[in-house]
């Protein structure tokens, strides 16, 4: 705590006052009968210039105050040993902007005006340390739970996979699905273990932060106590000097009364003695010191007594004047310089631990959200390119095909081994019946019942019209087909609204990969010939929704375009709802005509879906989470577009969803004209 950077308007006003003014009194000079300005320093406007800012007044020089030199010994006798450390230095620089530190100078001024500013801040820091330690303990316990869960799940998945490979379990599609599901569990377990490691790091950082702040708090508290004790001692010395001066003045007054031959009136003496001690007590002290009133009225003795008492009064007056000046200067120094610095140090400690705790809580919320989203994307991948989710893996089990293969292998392996059961064939005279013709072809009869379906599917050869739909630029599609909206969009949205408007989890639940791939191939070859109203597609509407999402993802330029991508993200980051709505409306209006028409139609479709939230559980927020990455596309490191969330696009996923959510919430304001509403 250096002396520079703090200025006092009280000191400057006394230094620059007009010495020619008859009422002017130099600061620090003892003037009996003039009210002392000591107590004015407590509420003086000097506190308004405490902050060390570029706009603050220039630093005070040593010549600004007459009393600064007299307090150098006091300041030197109390060395400032507070050594504050940057306990937030362990926080990564790239995420430190989550909580912006700030210092409110108005709060500091208010604290300086309070008599309880120091204990107030000390108690507040103690509360903050308790909160910080509680958060640290919570992170540590949560880390233990996550680590136990992750390691337990990882061990279970690995052991289960190894044990199944050694046992005589089902083969075929089941073993593939089973082993793949164990790998899904291992991936989730690894995510939990990494989450536990991060929690341990945050717990240690919070514990270290609380420890350092506690150390700084104790040092600053000790420093404040030293200053207060020094000021209290100076005030006690001032009172003692005042008492001695009063006693000496009373003795002098009594001698003067005797010298003039006046009668001694104790009550009059008491009235003229406004000192701290009472008249009787002062008289007793005077008699004890020299017995002045009991001696004879010898003029020579009275003169000698008068000279002696005048000398003592002069010495007591000098001592009182020096004590008064020192106490006044020390009080000004304490309230105008030292107290604001102590309060600033304590307030910085409080801000440091509060901001540190808030930062780690924000970081915890972000990591928790990320781990939950990671588990969700592992179980239900957004794109087929990310892999197969747990439910599609289980649905890929084909028990009929597995049993057919098992039956073939079993019959082949045991074909030449005689059985112990009853014989099937034998001579007729021994009672054996001739073989039934259907028995021999029983398996062959079963096989056509299964293969015609596949054969029928395989025999449907859709001619390729040479007008692909997937992976073609949106404007080129619409110009080629001479349409105002993409045909696949109208076709898919129509059947979804007819058959899937009340389907649980519409657009969130993925269809079967095989069915989705088949439908995509047919639509890409001949869009018009595909009947989406047939039972083949309406039985599971999720296949149609998955194809539509796949069409959006495979657009060379995303629906919201690369050029406007950052503009949408910046608008979504605005916290004010009204301003965010306006900025996103402007970005929507900037879209090319084909993109604007497509977005308007599709947002209207999603708006209808959200109106049935009570039945399909798809709120606007859920739809925004699904279609945020889909409509924006994901920009990889080399500038290319990918349809799934990876690489740098993951950082903008939350803002992408926020943009779609805001557009859906204000769908009628953005897209629907008043004329359309009237119609």
Mean pLDDT along residues 601-621: 92
Mean pLDDT along residues 194-220: 92
Asked whether residue 645 carries a pLDDT value surpassing 60, the answer given is no
pLDDT tier for residue 456 given thresholds of 50, 70 and 90: very low
pLDDT tier for residue 170 given thresholds of 50, 70 and 90: confident
Asked whether residue 519 carries a pLDDT value surpassing 70, the answer given is yes
pTM for the model stands at 0.41
CA atoms in the 13 A half-sphere facing the CB of 592:
15
Comparing 19-33, 168-182, 307-321, 407-421, the range with the smallest average pLDDT is: 19-33
pLDDT at 203: 94
Burial group, residue 169, by CB count within 10 angstroms (0-12, 13-18, 19+): exposed
Residues in the chain: 679
Mean pLDDT along residues 20-45: 36
Does 321 share its domain with 201? yes
Asked whether residue 360 carries a pLDDT value surpassing 60, the answer given is yes
Asked whether residue 579 carries a pLDDT value surpassing 60, the answer given is yes
Does 386 share its domain with 509? no
Write the CB contacts of 349 (distance below 8 Å, at least 6 apart in sequence). 84, 121, 125, 213, 216, 217, 220
CATH of the domain at 355: 1.20.1270.60
Distances in Å between the Cα of 309 and the Cα atoms of 60, 286, 302, 312, 492 are: 44, 11, 10, 5, 114
Residues forming beta bridges with residue 642, ordered by sequence position: 634
Residue 38 lies in a domain: no
Does 631 share its domain with 510? yes
pLDDT at 252: 84
Does 360 share its domain with 478? no
Does 322 share its domain with 223? yes
Pick the closest to residue 220 from 79, 81, 88, 335 (CA basis).
Answer: 81
Residue 488 lies in a domain: yes
Does 503 share its domain with 395? no
Pick the closest to residue 553 from 520, 531, 505 (CA basis).
Answer: 520
Does 505 share its domain with 396? no
Higher pLDDT, 498 or 281: 498
Of 384, 410, 436, which residue constitutes the final position of a domain? Answer: 410
pLDDT tier for residue 651 given thresholds of 50, 70 and 90: low
Q: Measure the CA–CA gap between 5 and 52, rounded to whole angstroms.
A: 6
pLDDT at 609: 94
Q: Measure the CA–CA gap between 514 and 506, rounded to whole angstroms.
A: 19
Asked whether residue 281 carries a pLDDT value surpassing 50, the answer given is no
pLDDT digits (tens, 9 = 90+) for 48-96: 333 333 333 333 333 333 333 333 334 444 443 334 333 333 334 444 4
For the chain, the average pLDDT equals 75
pLDDT digits (tens, 9 = 90+) for 258-278: 777 644 444 444 444 444 444
Q: Measure the CA–CA gap between 677 and 477, rounded to whole angstroms.
A: 30
pLDDT at 406: 83
pLDDT tier for residue 323 given thresholds of 50, 70 and 90: confident
In this structure, the number of other CB atoms found within 10 A of the CB of residue 108 comes to: 19
Pick the closest to residue 253 from 240, 272, 267, 239 (CA basis).
Answer: 272
Asked whether residue 204 carries a pLDDT value surpassing 60, the answer given is yes
Does 400 share its domain with 478? no
Of 410, 435, 456, which residue constitutes the final position of a domain? Answer: 410
pLDDT tier for residue 426 given thresholds of 50, 70 and 90: low
Q: Which residue has the tokens 């007044």?
A: 57
pLDDT digits (tens, 9 = 90+) for 92-146: 444 444 444 455 778 877 888 888 888 898 998 989 999 999 999 999 999 999 9
Q: What percent of the chain has pLDDT over 90?
A: 32
Does 405 share its domain with 479? no
Of 381, 410, 439, which residue constitutes the final position of a domain? Answer: 410
Asked whether residue 675 carries a pLDDT value surpassing 80, the answer given is no
Higher pLDDT, 51 or 335: 335
Does 378 share its domain with 498? no
pLDDT at 85: 38
Residue 572 lies in a domain: yes
Residue 147 lies in a domain: yes
Does 143 share its domain with 254? yes
CATH of the domain at 505: 1.10.555.10
pLDDT at 361: 94
Asked whether residue 345 carries a pLDDT value surpassing 90, the answer given is no
Which residue range forms the structural domain that includes residue 623?
474-635+648-671
Mean pLDDT along residues 409-413: 76
Q: What is the DSSP string of 244-313?
A: HHHHHHHHHHHHHHHHTTPPP-HHHHHHT--SSS-HHHHHHHHHHHH-GGGS---HHHHHHHHHHHHHHH
Write the CB contacts of 352 (distance below 8 Å, at least 6 apart in sequence). 87, 88, 101, 209, 213
Comparing 21-30, 199-208, 583-592, the range with the smallest average pLDDT is: 21-30
Q: Measure the CA–CA gap between 329 and 41, rounded to whole angstroms.
A: 10
Q: Which of 255-264, 305-314, 415-424, 646-655 has the highest mean pLDDT?
A: 305-314
In this structure, the number of other CB atoms found within 10 A of the CB of residue 409 comes to: 12
Residue 13 lies in a domain: no
Q: What is the DSSP string of 387-400?
A: ---HHHHHHT--HH
Backbone angles phi, psi at 635, to 5 degrees: -90, 120
pLDDT at 663: 94
How many structural domains does the chain have? 2
Enter the tokens of residue 659: 């943009």
Residue 275 lies in a domain: no
Asked whether residue 608 carries a pLDDT value surpassing 90, the answer given is yes
Comparing 91-95, 104-108, 176-180, 485-489, the range with the smallest average pLDDT is: 91-95
Higher pLDDT, 381 or 364: 364
Does 389 share its domain with 528? no
Asked whether residue 44 carries a pLDDT value surpassing 60, the answer given is no
pLDDT at 209: 92
Residue 665 lies in a domain: yes
Comparing 38-52, 252-266, 292-306, the range with the smallest average pLDDT is: 38-52
Residue 65 lies in a domain: no
């Amino acid at each position: 705590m250096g002396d520079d950077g703090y200025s006092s308007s009280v000191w400057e006003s006394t230094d620059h006052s007009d010495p020619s003014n008859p009422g002017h009194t130099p600061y620090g000079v003892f003037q009996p009968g003039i009210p002392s300005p000591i107590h004015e320093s407590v509420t003086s406007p000097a506190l308004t210039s405490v902050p060390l800012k570029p706009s603050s007044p220039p630093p005070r020089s040593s010549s600004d105050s007459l009393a600064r030199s007299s307090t150098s010994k006091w300041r030197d006798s109390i060395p400032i040993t507070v050594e504050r450390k940057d306990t937030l230095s362990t926080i990564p620089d790239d995420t430190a902007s989550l909580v912006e530190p700030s210092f409110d100078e108005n709060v500091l001024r208010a604290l300086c005006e309070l008599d309880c500013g120091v204990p107030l801040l000390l108690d507040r820091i103690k509360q903050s340390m308790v909160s910080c330690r509680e958060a640290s303990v919570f992170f540590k316990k949560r880390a233990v739970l996550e680590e136990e869960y992750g390691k337990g799940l990882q061990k279970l998945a690995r052991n289960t996979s190894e044990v199944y490979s050694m046992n005589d379990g089902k083969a075929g599609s089941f073993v593939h699905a089973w082993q793949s599901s164990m790998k899904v569990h291992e991936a989730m377990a690894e995510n939990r273990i990494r989450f536990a490691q991060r929690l341990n790091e945050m717990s240690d950082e919070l514990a270290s932060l609380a420890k350092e702040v506690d150390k700084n708090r104790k040092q600053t508290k000790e420093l404040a106590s030293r200053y207060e004790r020094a000021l209290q001692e100076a005030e006690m010395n001032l009172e003692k000097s005042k008492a001695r001066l009063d006693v000496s003045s009373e003795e002098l007054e009594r001698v003067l009364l005797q010298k003039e031959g006046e009668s001694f009136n104790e009550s009059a003496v008491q009235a003229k003695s406004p000192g701290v001690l009472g008249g009787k007590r002062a008289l007793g002290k005077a008699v004890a010191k020299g017995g002045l009133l009991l001696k004879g009225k010898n003029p020579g003795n009275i003169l000698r007594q008068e000279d002696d008492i005048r000398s003592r009064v002069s010495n007591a007056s000098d001592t009182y004047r020096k004590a008064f000046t020192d106490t006044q200067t020390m009080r000004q120094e304490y309230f105008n310089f030292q107290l604001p610095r102590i309060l600033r140090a304590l307030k910085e400690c409080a801000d440091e631990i509060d901001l540190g705790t808030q930062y780690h809580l924000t970081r915890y919320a972000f990591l928790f959200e990320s781990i939950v989203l990671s588990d969700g994307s592992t179980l239900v991948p957004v794109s087929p390119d990310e892999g197969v989710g747990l439910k599609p893996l289980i649905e890929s089990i084909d028990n009929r095909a597995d049993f057919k293969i098992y039956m073939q292998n079993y019959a082949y392996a045991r074909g030449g081994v005689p059985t112990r059961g009853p014989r099937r064939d034998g001579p007729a005279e021994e009672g054996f019946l001739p073989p039934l013709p259907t028995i021999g072809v029983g398996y062959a009869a079963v096989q056509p019942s299964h293969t015609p379906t596949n054969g029928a599917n395989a025999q449907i050869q859709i001619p390729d019209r040479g007008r692909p739909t997937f992976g073609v630029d949106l404007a080129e599609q619409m110009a080629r087909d001479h349409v105002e909206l993409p045909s696949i969009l109208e076709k898919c949205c129509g059947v979804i609204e007819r058959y899937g408007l009340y389907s649980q989890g519409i657009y969130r639940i993925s269809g079967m990969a095989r069915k989705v791939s088949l439908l995509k191939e047919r639509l890409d070859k001949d869009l018009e010939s595909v009947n989406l109203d047939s039972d083949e597609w309406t039985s599971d509407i999720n296949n149609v929704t998955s194809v539509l999402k796949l069409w959006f993802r495979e657009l060379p330029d995303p629906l919201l375009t690369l050029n406007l991508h950052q503009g949408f993200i910046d608008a979504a980051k605005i916290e004010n709802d009204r301003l965010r709505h306006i900025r996103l409306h402007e970005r929507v209006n900037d879209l090319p005509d084909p993109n604007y028409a497509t977005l308007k139609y599709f947002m209207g479709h999603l708006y209808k879906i959200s109106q049935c939230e009570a039945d399909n559980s798809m709120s606007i927020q859920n739809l925004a989470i699904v279609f945020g990455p889909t409509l924006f596309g994901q920009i990889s490191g080399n500038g290319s577009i990918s349809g799934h969330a990876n690489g740098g696009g993951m950082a903008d996923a939350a803002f992408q969803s926020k943009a779609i959510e805001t557009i859906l919430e204000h769908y009628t304001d953005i897209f629907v004209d008043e004329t359309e509403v009237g119609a």
